[in-house]
Structures are given as C-alpha cells and as structure tokens.
Chain A
Amino acid sequence: MSILGLKRSRDIRRQKWQFIAVLVTVILGVALFAGMFNAYLNLGSSLTGSYDRLGMADMTVTDADDGFLDTVSRIAGVDNASDRQQADVPFEIGDNSLVGRIIGMPGDTQPDMNQVDVVDGGYLEASDNTGVLVEEHMANDFELEVGDTFDIVGQEVSVVGIAVSPEYLWPAKDRQTVFTPPRTFGVVFVTKPWLDGLEGPSVDHQVLVEYGDGVVVEDVDASVGSAAEAANAADIQTLEDQPSNATINEEIGGLQTMAVALPLLFLAAAGMAIYVVITRLVYSQRGVIGTFRATGFKSKTLSRHYRSYGVGVGLIGAAIGAVLGALMGRGMTAIYIKVFGIPDLVAEFHLPTVLLALTFGGVAGAIAAIPPARIVAAMAPAEAMRGDAPAQGGKRSVFETLIPPLRRAPVRWRMTLRGLGRNKRRSTAMVVGVILSAVMILAAAGSMDTMLAAFDRQFNEVAIEDAQAFFAVPVGDPQIEAVAAATGVMLAEPVVGLKAILRNGDQSYTTLIEGYKSDTQVHGFPNGLPTSGVLVGQAMHDLLGVEVGHRVTIELPDLDVEISELVQGFLDEPMATLAYIEADQLTSAVNSADETITPDVLALPSFTSVKARYEPGAAGSLAVEQIKDVAGVAAVIDATELRSLLQEFQAFFYVFIGMGLVFGSAMAFALIFNIISVNVAERVSEFASMRASGLTHRKVASMITGETFLLTAIGIVPGLVFGYLAAVAFMNSFSSDQFPIVAEVRPWTYGLTVVGLFAVAGLSLIPAIRAIRRINIGEVVRERAV
C-alpha cells in the first residue's frame, strides 16, 4: 500500500464513526436498490415463467358468436385458440354456502391453455365425472383434502386433487371484486362433460387465445378485440386486465417505483454525508496538505487522494450493499411468491443490477468528494501550512435582520442563530437531509394513512352494510323480508347487481352496475342516489373520457340488453370502480329497452342480493347464520370478514412501510450525526475556551442542540411539503381502477413526523453532546500552545 493509501486507511480509522455512518447509508441505499430491483425482476420472471409453463391465455373472450373460434385462429399473431365453459353456481360445503366458479377442463389431459399445477392428489379423469380439482385458495379456506366431498348445484362431487391455477394466483372473482373474503368464493375445475350436463346455471362460453412468440401484444390485442366485438362478445379480457394478473402487476409496478425512488433518497443522503465528512477532513488537514504540496506533491495527486475517500467508501458500501441486496432480493422474491402463490420461483443473479448498484455507490461517493477535492487543488501551500483557516468575517443572522428584537436577545441565543450560517454548505446539507428523511418517512407513513383512510371510507362511508347475502337466482320481496327478520338485523334492503359494459364512443369499461333504493341506508352516496341517470366511479372519468351530463351506453350482457343513461356524478370509492343507479329506474330502463325481458329476471320485485345492517350491539355471527338459512341465499359476506381480509393483505404492505420508516430514521440519524460531529470537531477550541471561561458543558451543549433543532425545523417545513408530494406519487403508483386510492395524509402524521425527526435529531445529538462533555480543555489549550 502506498503511503497515501496508508494515510487514507488511518484517517478513516480515526474518524471511524463518521465513515461508518456514511457507509451504512450507502449500504442501505444500494441494498434497497439491489434487493428491490432484483425482487422486481425475479417476481416478473417468476410470473412469466409460470404463465409460460401453464400456458396462460393472452386473451379471454366470453360469449362471442358461433364461429369466433375459427375467426380468431386465423388472426395474425395468434398461435392457438380453444374454447371452454365456466359458470358461477351455488356450492354447499358442510354448513357453508357460497357462489363458486366451476371451470370445464378436458378429462385425463390438461387443456392447451390455462393449465393447472396439481399440488395434491391427481388430475381429472374422464371416467370420473364427479371428481373435481379444487383451487388451492379454496381448499385452504375450507380445509378440503383429496377424498372430501361437497355439493355443487345440489350434486355431490369428490375432490380428486388440489390445484394451482395461473388465473387465480390472486383469487379475484372479477376486476371489481379483487378482495373476496375467505369462504365466500372459490374455484373448482370439473370435467367438461359434467359441466355440459349441468342444468340450470347460466354458463359462460369462453374462447382462450394464445399469441405467438415475438408478436407485438398490443397489436394482436387490438385485432382480437375488434374481432370479438364484431362477434358480439359479452366480455373481452386481455392478460393485462385479467383480475389476478392485474392485481399482482399493480404490486410489481409499485415495487419497481420504490426500487428506484427509495435508493435515490439514500444515495443523495449518503452523498451529502460523504461531502460533509471529507470537507471536514480537508480543513483539519490543511497543514498536512500544505506540507505535501511544499514537498513536491502535485495538486492533482492530492486532489485524487481526497476524492478516493468518497469513491472508496461509496464502492465498499456498494459492494456490501449489493451482496445484502442480492440476499434481500431473494428473500423478498420468496415472500412475494408465497403471498401471491406463484408456483415457479425464479431467483436469478442479475449481474447488471449488481453492476448498476456498484456504479451508483461509486458515483455517489465520487460526486460528493468533488467539492472538497477542488478545495485541495486550490489550496496555496504557504497559507495551508499555517494550519487553521483564516477567520472569516462573521455577520448577523437572517433571523436578526428579519426580527430586530432578536438583536437584543441573550448572546447565547444569537450565537445559536448565527451558527446556522457559519458553514452554509453544511447547514444546507443538513436541511436537505432532513427534507429527504421527511420525504421518506411521510411517503411511508402517508401510504399507511392512505390505506387506513381508504378502509375507513370504504367501510364507514361507502359500504355501510354489515352483511350482504347473494342469491343463487334473482328473488323477490319474501326473501328480503326473511333476511330483515333475522335476529339482530335492523334493516335489509334489496340490491340489483349486474355485470355491465359502459361505453362512450370507442372507450369501454367492464364493471358492475348496482341498483339501490333512492333513499338507501346500506350504501353511502355523498349527495344521495339520483332518481335518474347513473353515478360512476371516478376512474371512469379518464377511462371513458366522460364528464357529468354526458350520456353513456350500458350493455348488460346477462340480460342481453343495452340502455343509455346520463352521468350524474362521479364517486370517490376506494375499493372498486362501479356504476350505481336507482333500482326502479334500472328496471324501467331495461324493460323499455327490451320488452321481452321477463319479470322473473329483472322486474321488481326481483333482486340479486340483499344488504343488511345490524342493530347496535347485535351478534353478527348469529345474524349471518340465520341469513344463510333464508331460502335462495347462496352466500353471505360478513363485512367484518372482508375488513380482516383487507387488513391481512395490507399487513404485507405495512412491512415495507415499516421498513421505510426505519430506514428513513436511520438515514436521518446517519446524516445529522455526521454533520453535528463535524460541527463539534471543528469548534473544539471555541468550546474549550468557552468552558475555560466558565460556561458549563450544558450551556455549550444547548447551543449545539439549538442549532441542530433550528436546522431540523427549517428542513421540516419543505420536508412536509415534499413528503406529501412523494406520498401522492407513491400511492398513485399503486392506484388503479381496481383500487382507486387517493393519497391522504392525516394531520397527526405530520405531527408525528415532526416529533420523529426532532427525536432522531435529538438522538443524533447524544454522541456530540458526550463529545462536548469529554472535551479536555487543558489538552486543547496545551496542544494549541506554541
């Protein structure tokens, strides 16, 4: 090792805590990047791998005209197409009743597309028409095992296997019902002949389409979509819109955003910390630098020497961070895979990510070291050899200029105020550090607030029912009255729910339309439900390009009818994007549109579900049990169960939010600690002379504390603003028509962020205050004596 190299390693050892703080910040930043970006890549690869292996369809078209299968097979870019049937029908499993989904599969052999992974038992046998495969989520919810039996549409079936399906990795019923509580929905794969023989249920005929390799997916989507529309398809669903896939991709997209944004914050903070520490080093070694220059060292050599501190700490931190990140990425991928039940785990080593991480660390260190290196290059040897930098002219603080009475404040206060301007770059670094930390903390805490606010609005303002019972077939008033009569039920209201495709010109959106009483007490409408026209979810404003007063056409595929309604307003509902209409008006519009529709399908009184509210203090479980017993009820959703499911899902999200809070605090600590340490180190003589003059160490410490808290306060104001904007951007990356959340930061979160940052600043002060207490006045005086 060269002598300069030896000097560097000893310098670092002497200032080990400052360099360790910098190193930790770089490690965290790079580890976050490498970990999250690797997880993002691995998760994408795992998902794609499972889709490829199981032949996930690129497009699913429902109820198109006969001949569509042939038509679509001939479209350029289509590699394969096949048909199948599925139906939503009543299941009876022990005491539980629900509306489940059955999907027809060929016996003995897997279908060409949307195959399943049998994880227990065996595949369907053509000779055993009562044997079924149960989707894994449902099997877990109902604790079903191979050999168990239950009823589908009154017929007993036997579980021959448990299967994972690429269509139900996330068990979403449809795009508008992404979160289905356990035991209220399930998927079962049955043999095609058994499904063909099923009487009663309305069966969807689907065409699954697989594209060839290397095609432009958007182009083929457009071609197949046009053909499907021409064939009067009731539903056209691309892979991008497939409910399970869309839900998982929302998460992957959010992960990608975080994988870039969070590390940038850390590397910025690390860069500032490196700048502060190396600048301090340069100033404290002025004499040494002057001597080196006088003895013949080129300014370029010395400049490079000090730059190497930054590059070194950046590269070492990046190397450690990359290793930790690789491990973290593997762990995160495994967690995601488990949460989403993706059957194939692809945990690859992504060399470009590692190289990028190393580059980030090195570049952050190199850039941060440029200003101090330039100071070294510009140092005149003779002046530098005199040691201490010449005293700079002081001046009054901006506070004293703006608030003249402060000029009469005790000198200690004025000293604290002026301390902020003594090293503007360092003060700026600290303010920016506080801003970055506030951004990190608020983005995380704001996300948690947004989620909690979304839950709160959904369950206390929007879906204000306590339970919803679905009927196997539309029912009339007697069933509603029976539900209303259940013990503990305060009121029960009928609801009409139909699949709907809303169109405005070329734009269309598939969702549900729900019909309520105009004075409904089971669903919250901020301005009431209008007696004419429809209210639609806010996302449709952009998706359909409609405004209030525009007319939209609403296709109701289940009734094979199309109606036209005025948009009367937009609703900000966090869990779905639906359309709402007054129930009588829906019936009237449908009957006017097609007089052939029979009253038993959709003419009052005929409802698809009932929503109930309990009496205060009533036992929900008892009410649910009684509602289940009402004739025709296929499933009952208890709102508390749905709430639990959502919280379970969000618990996973909270882990990352918690990480954000911890990392944000760590980042703030590392940066503030370094800046304060440098501040104290530079002012040891000053403090020693004050102590010698009789100031207690508490008074000296209070000045540093005052400066630190003032800088923290200055950084907090913009920090809260940028933090809010970051929370908005962060939540927008998770928002979709399925989950149209709007960022919302509660006032107390700002308060807690402020308290938290002051607490972190206070903690960061502890070592500095201890250092002030440990100042050996005699030693400082003696060492400065000639």
Chain B
Amino acid sequence: MTDVAVKATNLTKTYGEGETEVQALRDASFEIPRGEFVVLQGASGSGKTTLLNQIGALEPPTAGDVEANGFKLNGLDDDGRTEYRLKSVGFIFQFYNLVPSLTAYENVALIAELTGDEVEERTEQVLRSVGLADRMNHFPGQMSGGEQQRVSIARGLVKNPPLMLCDEPTGALDTDTGTQVLSLLREITDQGDRTIVIVTHNTAISTIANRVIDLKDGEIIGTHLNGDPRDPNDVVW
C-alpha cells in the first residue's frame, strides 16, 4: 500500500458540446497523501464538485486518470466503478440523501449489509461513534439536520473506507451544527489513516485542513499545506 491516497493526472472533464460545451475541469494533476484532511476550495462553478465526482468515480473523466486505493478509475466500467465506491469511498452529501422510509439504523445497515457480516454490531458501533446511540430508531423526518448529517457520515463510515468524500457537508447546517460535523470528520481522520476530502466554498473551513487545493474556472490554481490545522471548534464563519 502506497502512502498516496489519490493521484490525479491531467484530469479533464467537459460537459456538453459545440456552443454549449463547458470545460468543468482542465488538466488537473495532484496527489493526496493517505490520512490527510483535504479541502477542495473555490467559488461556485470552479469545478470542485466535478473534481470530487472524479475522485469518487461518480462520472468518467473526458481525459486523464485518477488512481485511488489501488484502483485505476479510467479503465473501470460501471460495475468496476460501483465496486470501487463500495470498497473504497464513503460519500457525504450536502442534503444527506437519506432514505426517508428507513430509520437511522436502517439507513446505515443498508450499506453495512453490502460490505460484510456482523451488520448489527458494525451499524450500532458506527452510530454510537457519531453520537447517535439514542437516535438509532428514528426516521430522518424525526431528526434535525445535524443528526441527519451524522447518519450520513455513519453511512459512509460503516464500510470502513479508506477515503471519505464530502460535498459541502455543512452547507445545509447552522454554524454550531456545522462545527460539530466538522469536529466529527476531523476526529475520524485523526483516529486512523483515513483520508477525507471536503468540497466547500467556505474559506474558514480550509483552516482545519492539512491540505487545501484551490480551484478556479476548472483549474487547480494552487495547493497549500497547513502546518498547524485549527481545531474546528475555533473556526468561526
């Protein structure tokens, strides 16, 4: 196992064609070391979600390649990409995307069932770890936004992926709840060698990251390292 969690080479993504063609990502090349907390930062339309989708194999690139967790994503078909996501990636979305007809426990167990035995133990353990021990049997409609996002994090964690990809995880939350969620994500990184990549347009959040990749108009315009990332509880936005 290398120390590089994600390696992108000349990654390009184009949507549409002719007059409607949009180059969402241009020649992006970078490496993310294992166990880092990385922020992809940029204004709206800068290409950060597109880049996250490429790392998560949610859509194929137009050109270039991504290598993650031993998978070369460019050569994968739909089944291969699905297997990669199942084994290697935990997703956290801005709007949680929980199944409303399943309880917190069941939303997590749905994924746990796909990834091994001891479903009950693993599900309960991961829900306890995100602070939802007493909310397991609640449906999403009965939970706050922060609680729903924690279920979403538990859902991503339950398969124990080496890579967690978070798309504006605090975007739909108030400041306090957002801080709690960021603390939780930071804690997850600090506890092991799991890599977390967060997409945000909120520059304050970048101060808690080990590494910040700045994007503008689909291009990586800079990468900088935080020698001393701040505690999420100290961040104000």
CB-based contact B97/A694 at 8 Å? no
B207 within 8 A of A: no
Q: Within 8 Å CB of B44, what residues of A?
A: 786
In this complex, which of A412, A693, A779 has the most chain B Cβ atoms within 10 angstroms of its Cβ? Answer: A693
Q: Does A686 contact B (CB under 8 A)?
A: yes
Tell me whether A422 is interfacial, beta carbon within 8 Å. Answer: yes
What string of 1s and 0s marks CB contacts (under 8 Å) between B72-100 and chain A?
00000011001101110111011101111
Q: Is the CB of A414 within 8 A of B106?
A: yes
Does B167 contact A781, Cβ atoms closer than 8 Å?
yes
Cβ of A693 and Cβ of B91 under 8 Å apart? yes
Task: Mark contacts of B143-178 with chain A using CB atoms, 8 A cut-off: 1 yes-contact digit, 0 otherwise.
Answer: 000000000000110010000000110011000000
**How far apart are B72's CB and chain A's nearest CB, in angstroms?**
18
Asked whether A686 and B56 contact (CB < 8 A) given A394-B139, A781-B93, A785-B168, the answer is no
Residue numbers in B under 8 Å from A696 (CB-CB): 79, 82
User: Please, which residue of chain B has its CB at the minimum distance from the CB of A419?
Assistant: B101
Pick from B108-116, B181-189, B210-218 the stretch touching chain A: B108-116
Do residues B110 and A412 form an inter-chain contact, with CB atoms below 8 A?
yes
Q: Is the CB of A694 within 8 A of B82?
A: yes
Whether A264 is near chain B, meaning CB under 8 Å from some CB there, is no
B100 touches A422 (CB 8 A): yes
Contact among B109, B159, B167 for A785, CB-based, below 8 A: B167
Fill in one digit per residue for A774-786: 1 if any B CB lies within 8 Å of its CB, else 0. Answer: 0011110110111
Alpha-carbon gap, A786 to B90, bound state (A): 20
A198 at the binding interface (Cβ < 8 Å): no
What is the CA–CA distance of A546 and B103 in the complex, to the nearest angstrom? 67
Name the residue of chain B whose CB is nearest to the CB of A699.
B114
Q: Residues of B contacting A685 with CB < 8 Å? A: 95, 97
What is the distance, in angstroms, from B84's C-beta to the closest C-beta of chain A?
Answer: 8
B54: nearest chain-A partner, CB-CB: A778
Against A, the Cβ 8 Å flags (1 = close, 0 = not) of B97-139 are 1111111001001110111000000000000000000000001
Report A706 CB to chain B, min CB distance, Å: 13
Residues of B within 8 A of A391 (CB): 100, 140-141
Establish whether residues A394 and B103, one from each chain, have CB atoms under 8 Å apart when the complex forms: yes
B residues in contact with A782, CB < 8 Å: 49-50, 53
Complex CA–CA separation, A776 to B103 (angstroms): 26
- Chain B residue contacts of A688, Cβ below 8 A: 97
Instruction: Report if B235 contacts A (CB, 8 A).
Output: no
Q: Which residues of B contact A781 (CB under 8 A)?
A: 49, 53, 58, 93, 167
Rounded to whole Å, the gap between the CB of B9 and the closest CB of chain A is 19
Task: Verify B140–A394 contact, CB threshold 8 A.
Answer: yes
Query: Does B85 lie within 8 Å of A693, measured CB to CB?
Result: yes
Q: Which residue of B lies closest to A393 (CB)?
A: B141
- B142: interface (CB < 8 Å): yes
Among B101, B156, B171, the residue within 8 A (CB) of A418 is B101
Whole-angstrom distance between the Cβ of B186 and the nearest chain A Cβ: 22
- Min C-beta distance of B126 to chain A, whole Å: 13
The answer to whether B110 touches A415, judged by C-beta atoms less than 8 angstroms apart, is: yes
What residues on B are CB-neighbors of A410 within 8 Å?
113
Please tell me if B59 contacts chain A, counting CB pairs below 8 Å: yes
Known: A693-B91, A694-B86. A418 touches B102 (CB 8 A): yes
A619 at the interface (CB under 8 A from B): no
**Closest beta carbon of chain A to B202's beta carbon, Å:** 11
A784 to B53, CA, bound (A): 13
* Assembly CA distance A388 to B139 (angstroms): 18
Which residues of chain A are near B82, meaning CB under 8 Å?
Answer: 691, 694-697
Smallest beta-carbon distance A576→chain B, Å: 60
Q: Which residues of B contact A392 (CB under 8 A)?
A: 100, 141
Contact in complex: A694, B94 (CB < 8 Å): no
Q: Is the CB of A394 within 8 A of B100?
A: yes
What's the Cα separation between A782 and B53 when bound, in Å?
Answer: 8
Known A393-B141, A694-B87, A778-B58; contact A785-B94, beta-carbon cutoff 8 A:
yes
> Which one, B86, B141, B142, contacts A693 given CB within 8 A?
B86
Say how far B237's CB is from chain A's closest CB, in angstroms: 14
Interface residue range, chain A: 35 or more
Tell me the bound Cα distance from A478 to B113 in angstroms: 88
Q: Which of B79, B115, B171 contacts A786 (CB 8 A)?
A: B171
Instruction: Mark contacts of B14-31 with chain A using CB atoms, 8 A cut-off: 1 yes-contact digit, 0 otherwise.
Output: 000000000000000000
In the complex, per-residue mask of A407-429: 1 if CB is within 8 Å of any chain B CB, else 0: 00011101100110110000000
CA distance A414 to B139 in the complex (A): 13
Q: Contact check, A689 vs B97: say whether CB atoms are below 8 A apart.
A: yes
The residue in A390, A394, A422 that gathers the most chain B C-beta atoms within 10 A of its C-beta is A394
A395 is an interface residue with CB less than 8 A from chain B: yes
Task: Give complex CA distance A395, B103 in Å.
Answer: 8
- B6-49 contacts to A, CB under 8 A, are 44, 49
In the complex the two chains form, what is the Cα distance from A415 to B103 in whole Å? 10
Contact A779 B97 (CB under 8 A): no
Of A391, A411, A414, the most chain B CB neighbours within 10 A belong to A411
CB distance from A551 to the nearest CB of B (A): 70
Task: Contacts A391-B100, A410-B113, A411-B110 given; indicate if A786 touches B168 (C-beta within 8 A).
Answer: yes
The CA of A412 and the CA of B106, in the complex, are separated in Å by 9
| Contact status B49-A785, CB under 8 Å | yes
Distance in angstroms between the alpha carbons of A782 and B49 in the assembled complex: 6
Please report the C-alpha to C-alpha distance between residue A786 and residue B95 in the assembled complex, in whole angstroms. 10
* Cα(A72)–Cα(B141), bound, Å: 85
Bound CA span A685–B140, Å? 15
Indicate if the CB atoms of B110 and A784 lie closer than 8 Å: no
User: For window 755-786 of chain A, which residues contact chain B by CB distance below 8 Å?
Assistant: 776-779, 781-782, 784-786
Check if A777 sits within 8 Å of B58, measured CB to CB.
yes
Contacts of A4 in B (CB 8 A): none
Whether A786 contacts B94 by the Cβ 8 Å rule is yes
**In the complex the two chains form, is B58's CB within 8 Å of A692's CB?**
yes
Closest Cβ of chain B to A703, distance in Å, is: 10
Of all chain B residues, the one with the shortest Cβ separation from A693 is: B111
Task: For the complex formed, measure the closest distance between the CB of A776 and the CB atoms of chain B, giving whole angstroms.
Answer: 6
Taken residue by residue from 667 to 706, chain A's Cβ proximity to chain B (1 for < 8 Å, 0 otherwise) reads as 0000000000000000001101111111111010000000
Within 34-85 of A, Cβ neighbours of B (below 8 Å) are at none
A394 and B114 alpha carbons, distance in the complex (Å): 23
Residue of A nearest to B155 (CB): A693
- Residue of B with least CB distance to A686: B99
Q: Which residue of A lies closest to B201 (CB)?
A: A786
Bound Cα distance A688, B90 (Å): 14
Residues of chain B lying within 8 A (CB to CB) of residue A785:
49, 94, 167-168, 171, 199
- A389-403 vs B, CB cutoff 8 Å, 1 = contact: the mask equals 011111100000000
Please name all residues of chain A whose beta carbon is closer than 8 Å to the beta carbon of B139 when the two chains form the complex.
393-395
Cα(A784)–Cα(B49), bound, Å: 10
Q: Are A415 and B102 in contact (CB under 8 A)?
A: yes
Give the shortest distance, in Å, between B111 (CB) and chain A (any CB): 5
Q: Is the CB of A784 within 8 A of B102?
A: no
Residues of chain A with a CB closer than 8 A to B87's CB? 694
Question: How far is A391 from B95 in the complex, measured between Cα atoms in Å?
Answer: 11
> Please, which residues of chain A bring their CB within 8 A of the CB of B142?
393
User: Is A779 a contact partner of B85 (Cβ separation < 8 A)?
Assistant: no
Report A334-385 residues with CB < 8 Å from chain B CB.
none
Bound together, the chains give a CA A693 to CA B44 distance in angstroms of 25
**Residue pair A394, B59 in contact (C-beta under 8 Å):** no
**Once the chains are docked, how many angstroms separate the CA of A248 from the CA of B168?**
75
13 contacts between A and B (CB under 8 A): A388-B95, A412-B110, A689-B91, A692-B58, A692-B93, A693-B90, A694-B82, A694-B86, A781-B93, A784-B94, A784-B95, A785-B49, A785-B171
Residues of B within 8 A of A (CB): 44, 49-50, 53, 56, 58-59, 78-79, 82-83, 85-87, 89-91, 93-95, 97-103, 106, 109-111, 113-115, 139-142, 155-156, 159, 167-168, 171-172, 199
Top 5 nearest A-B pairs (CB, nearest first) are A694-B86, A778-B59, A689-B97, A394-B139, A393-B141
> Other CB < 8 Å A-B pairs besides A689-B91, A778-B53, 16 of them?
A388-B95, A391-B140, A392-B141, A394-B100, A394-B103, A412-B110, A689-B97, A690-B99, A693-B156, A777-B59, A778-B50, A779-B59, A781-B58, A784-B95, A785-B94, A786-B171
